[in-house]
Amino acid sequence: MGRKIAIMGAGAVGGYAGAHMVQAGEDVTFIDPWPEHVAHMQKHGLRVTHARDVAEFSVHVRALHITDAQQLAREKPVDIAFVCTKSYDTAWATTLIAQYLAPDGFVVSLQNCMNEEIVARVVGWGKTLGCIASSITVNLPEPGHVHRGAGKGGAAHTVFRAGEVHGRITERASEICRLVGYADSATVTPNLWGERWSKLVANVMGNGLSACTGLSGGEMLESEPIRRFSTRLGSEAIRVGQAHGYQLEEILHLAPETIARAGEGDEDAMRACDAQRFADGKRISSGQRPSMGQDMQKGRRTEIDFMNGLVVREGAKVGISCRANAVLTDLVTRVERGELSADPRHITELRLN
């Protein structure tokens, strides 16, 4: 207790983790660019609901619009800043909060994608940490309301993995683990980069597909051609991660090699993937959309270039062609621009060599 915490981006993940910190008595300030969301939090607080097994709660919070963040100059410096924005907003969000950091303060990327390097360009590697939120399935359906499309992971699945970029277990990594642990199960990892790429693979397999098809996670799971394409996306990403030397962790409760082989046509691996994904699907609301599907619904910019597009670019560096990821990146970009409408046929009628 006693540390001053700032959360840059009070959306689904930032709002969910931060609300639990506030509930536990931590000193948290939320900073967000959505005026209606900030106004609702200021007047009514932040409400958190779950699809199952967890009672809803509301907390009174301190929320500032980004234009009011200058108030922090007159206050005690920020000890820990969580950046929880979309990946394309990482640089400006880090730059904004950096000027209010305490001398020993630091920034934690609690985001999708591989953004620690962007954070480090602003505050330096010595002030940069990462935290992965694995299979958290949260959204922001309306101002002031965070909803999780499942129950909590608890002992069955470790949701938060906090770590230093150099892999050593430190006091500040343990402090991050303690803070996010209010929300769900958490651990300190010595393998931040492997955890990051593993989470990227999971995102690569569902986010863009939801964005270009308009389907929820449950609807995509029921479609065999979409399920097969999802596995191919993950397989390509896993092979790229392996080529880069990342120590990959379990992905969607499957060994990475199982997903990789399934995407390459191994029938036994395909059956194992299907069995696990259907089992996992029973624990999540069938209407839950991955974050990029939510963004497309809301008319927001997607993170496709930071997910599937990144896989394509990193694959090129090691001589691996990622055809499926390249095609999906193009499809999502075209839907986002209004050149195409979201439609499952983009995938179900797709033929790739």
One domain for residues 41 and 94: yes
Q: Partners of 128 in the beta sheet? A: 107
Whole-number Å distance between alpha carbons of 17 and 13: 6
pLDDT of res. 223: 95
Domain membership of residue 87 (yes or no) is yes
One domain for residues 186 and 267: no
One domain for residues 98 and 161: yes
If you search the block for the tokens 């990193």, which residue do you land on? 314
| Whole-prediction pTM | 0.94
One domain for residues 251 and 128: no
Asked whether 185 and 158 are in contact (CB, 8 A), the reply is: yes
Residue 162 is which amino acid? A
- pLDDT tens per residue, range 313-326: 999 999 999 999 99
**Which residue ranges in the chain fall short of pLDDT 50?**
none
Q: What is the CATH number of the domain that holds 261?
A: 1.10.1040.10
Last residue of a domain, one of 190, 224, 256: 190
One domain for residues 65 and 87: yes
Asked whether 61 and 28 are in contact (CB, 8 A), the reply is: yes
The answer to whether the Cα torsion of 176, 177, 179, 180 is positive or negative is positive
Last residue of a domain, one of 190, 214, 232: 190
Q: What is the CATH number of the domain that holds 172?
A: 3.40.50.720
One domain for residues 175 and 200: no
User: How many angstroms from the chain centroid is the CA of residue 297?
Assistant: 17
Asked whether 34 and 63 are in contact (CB, 8 A), the reply is: no
**Among 184, 146, 132, 144, residue whose Cα is nearest residue 48:** 146
One domain for residues 105 and 140: yes
Domain count, the chain: 2
Instruction: Give Rg (Cα) of the chain.
Output: 19
- pLDDT tens per residue, range 26-82: 999 999 999 999 999 999 999 999 998 999 999 999 999 999 999 999 999 999 999
One domain for residues 268 and 290: yes
Domain membership of residue 353 (yes or no) is no
Domain membership of residue 180 (yes or no) is yes
One domain for residues 150 and 131: yes
Asked whether 98 and 73 are in contact (CB, 8 A), the reply is: no
3-state secondary structure 128-189: EEEEEECCCCEEEEECCEEEECECCCHHHCCCEEEEECCCCCCHHHHHHHHHHCCCCCEEEC
Whole-number Å distance between alpha carbons of 174 and 264: 39
pLDDT of res. 170: 98
Residue 70 DSSP symbol: G
Q: Which domain holds residue 286?
A: 195-348
One domain for residues 275 and 208: yes
Tell me the longest C-alpha to C-alpha distance in the chain: 62
Last residue of a domain, one of 166, 190, 214: 190
Centre a 10 Å sphere on the Cβ of residue 76 and count the other Cβ atoms it contains.
Answer: 11
Domain membership of residue 14 (yes or no) is yes
One domain for residues 167 and 211: no
One domain for residues 54 and 147: yes
pLDDT of res. 283: 81
31-35 own/partner pairs: CB under 8 Å, 24+ apart: 31/6, 31/7, 31/63, 31/64, 31/65, 31/66, 31/69, 31/96, 31/97, 32/63, 32/64, 32/65, 32/66, 33/65, 33/66, 34/143, 35/65
Domain membership of residue 22 (yes or no) is yes
pLDDT of res. 282: 85
